[in-house]
Amino acid sequence: MSSEKEREEIARRSKMVGLLYDLKDDKPAFLAERKQLAEENDVSEKTIQRYFNRYKEFGIDGLKSARKGRPGNRAIDQAVLNECIILRRENLKRSVNTLITTLEREGMIKKGSVKRSTLQDQLARAGYSKKLIRVYNDKVGASGQRFQRSSRNSLWQADTKHGPYLNRKKTYLISYVDDSSRDIMHSEFYHVEKGYTVIDCLRKAISKNGVPDDVYYDNGSPFKCHDMQRTCSLLFIQKRHTKVRSAKSKGKIEKFHQVVDSFIWENKLCNPPVTDLDVLNARWTAYYEIEYRNKKHAAHNNKMTPKEAFENDEKKLKLIDKETLDNACLFVEYGRVVDKAGCVNFRSAKYTAENLHLYIGKKVNVVWDPSYQDLVWVESDDFKKTPAKPLKMNDWVPKKASKQLPPIELPTTRSRVLDAIEKEYENNEKKRIEAFSLPKPDSSTEIVASAEDKTSEEKLTLDEPNRKGLKLQAFCGSEKKNPSKSRGGKSVSKPDGLSLRKLNKPKETSDV
């Protein structure tokens, strides 16, 4: 019991005892007054008599509530408690039973002398309970501390929440809450939890309340998509994210979700159930306007409602025109290739635009509005933003302007490829002939031509430079068998053509 409640209880008991104390000498009046006090205070006469007896014995201290708990000495020896703290600090996951068992095995305490609940209470008082250890080990750190911006539209907190099913189709609630006033900027149910639904909710919130300085999201994929970054950049909004697994960092929107839970439970009582998304959003808008926005909030000391706090703020709203807002909230699909038919693939369909066939094979960007998904545009660096429509198959192909290609072909009278090949072939042949040609003969080398009849021999001397390119096969022909001349019944082979013979003669000039 807290000190304030305890003081109130003591005052109530002393008032009853005071009325009885004046009648202590008159027993019938005392009993009648005791019965009446028991009925008025919803307690038994025995309890009131106990209050009276304790007051007579101990005075005002006798009216205090008795402490709850088991009687007897609940303290543990300080040395034993210190050892338990050391064991807990060595391994923070050790249970109380493990601590007691370890000390019993080490002989520091007798078996059964220390109870688990008693040690757990002592560890909690010393600051080493498991609950406190989880707080110490919390990696969030400063992000768990309370904070509040000083003016409206300084920071918006946003989050999604699972909603009721409509015809077996799930819904998701997306909400934006102003950090300073706790007012709801916009809240709406959607059938999908995607980036474009979050941006659509942001657009509706900005159109009603102006542009915020910062927005605060968790690390969900709808909040970290590149389209969300594009929207915030174009509107000059600083996008911030909480630390991973830190729901308490955006506790204002989490507290608002308790109101959402109340609405969902009330909505389940409806028979027949709601099946249309527009009807669900209409009911939800009426609910949070009455039950949240127009109720006094504890953040303003129960003196103002969130709606009044937002409207009475002195900070000026940053308003923006509709065209700029709509353009910033568009979605872009980058790098879609234009196929041979002059179309781009988008959402499992073919889309075409005027003069898009002139960019066949190039990449373009597909721009679309998440609120009106039939509005699609195509653009690129050299292709202006043009509306695109789904491709319709007709009986005849309409005439289109031919694709303007830059002049590529150049007139020529020869093939550089063939010239390069012939040049390479000639170089290869020249190298091959040089590799198999004879070395230049010295003064003692002569070439003798032998004929089949062996009647005459002519001496050849290669002293002219133009003879260097003769092929080796001209000098060394293949051997052929001559069946006319044989030795011992065996045919004798004669070399066919010219043969070389080294002569140890002085230098002479042979006639060819």
* pLDDT > 70? residue 482: no
* pLDDT > 50? residue 311: yes
Q: Give 231-264 pLDDT, tens digit per residue.
A: 999 999 999 998 887 777 888 899 999 999 999 9
Q: By C-alpha distance, which of 124, 123, 6 is closest to 61?
A: 6
Q: What pLDDT is attached to residue 139?
A: 53
Q: What pLDDT is attached to residue 160?
A: 93
CA distance 256 to 247: 13
Q: How confident is the model at residue 492 (pLDDT cuts 50, 70, 90)?
A: very low
Q: What pLDDT is attached to residue 215?
A: 95
255, β-bridge pairs: none
Q: Is 492 helix (H, G, I), strand (E, B) or coil?
A: strand
Span 319-344, average pLDDT: 88
Query: Domain ranges in the chain?
Result: 3-63, 78-137, 145-311, 333-390, 437-481+492-512
Q: What pLDDT is attached to residue 68?
A: 56
Q: What pLDDT is attached to residue 155?
A: 94
- For 64-218, strand residue ranges (E) read 155-162, 172-178, 184-190, 214-217
**Strands 214-217 and 155-162: what pairing?**
parallel
Select the more confidently predicted residue: 82 or 402: 82
Select the more confidently predicted residue: 132 or 454: 132
* pLDDT > 90? residue 280: yes
For the ranges 196-210, 242-256, 298-312, the lowest mean pLDDT is seen at 242-256
Residue 223 CB partners (closer than 8 Å, separation 6+): 158, 195, 198, 217, 241
Q: What pLDDT is attached to residue 156?
A: 95
Q: Give 428-444 pLDDT, tens digit per residue.
A: 998 888 887 766 665 54
Select the more confidently predicted residue: 295 or 414: 295
Rg (the chain; Cα; Å)? 52
Enumerate helices (H) and strands (E) in the chain, giving the number of each.
14, 16
Q: What pLDDT is attached to residue 89?
A: 86
Q: Which CATH code of 3.60.21.10, 3.30.420.10, 3.30.365.10, 3.50.50.60 fits the domain covering 145-311?
A: 3.30.420.10
CA distance 392 to 156: 44
Q: What pLDDT is attached to residue 407?
A: 60
Q: Give 103-116 pLDDT, tens digit per residue.
A: 999 988 888 888 88
**What DSSP element (H or E) covers 366?**
strand 363-368
* pLDDT > 60? residue 352: yes
Span 372-390, average pLDDT: 83
Report field, pTM of the whole predicted structure over 0.85? no
Q: How confident is the model at residue 193 (pLDDT cuts 50, 70, 90)?
A: very high
Span 315-341, average pLDDT: 88
Q: What pLDDT is attached to residue 326?
A: 87
